Amino acid sequence: MVTLRAMFRCKACGALNNVNSSGQGQAVCGNCKQALDLSGEPQDVDAAGMTRTLNASTVPVLVDFWAPWCGPCRAAAPVVDAVARENAGKLIALKLNTDQNREAASSYGIQGIPTFIVFRNGAPVARQSGAMPKLDFASWLAEANDPT
């Protein structure tokens, strides 16, 4: 059996965990010992949580800059969720509410939402604004995650 390594963020404490995806047993956080969610579902974070994840992740991180009142953000949410789940372990998906984290949004030059930024090794490598159909979003993300 082939064992693949994947990375997941603990919803309880925010720690990043490398997981052997052998399919055996329940994965738990190495930091707080809570069960890890291996679904790949995007996680809500504040600015500090986003920064910690960006600085520590060894896999690409997708950040969805959004706000609850934004219609296109709500329309994009199921697309982001589906694509993030399809890439579970290969990337970490985060959602940053720009209303609650104005300074962080401003520091990345967010002027319109939704805006999606892919980070690798803590640095932005791709950026896209506006809601997209799932196939377009998945293609953009695949291209952004291609390290070549």
The residues annotated with a catalytic role in the active site are: 70, 73
CA–CA separation, 125 vs 68, rounded Å? 26
List the beta bridge partners of residue 96: 45, 65
Residue 69 DSSP symbol: T
CA–CA separation, 37 vs 22, rounded Å? 15
Are 144 and 118 in contact by the 8 Å Cβ rule? The answer is yes
Residue 91 DSSP symbol: B
Q: 107 in helix, strand or coil?
A: helix
Q: 77 in helix, strand or coil?
A: helix
H/E segment holding residue 129: strand 123-129
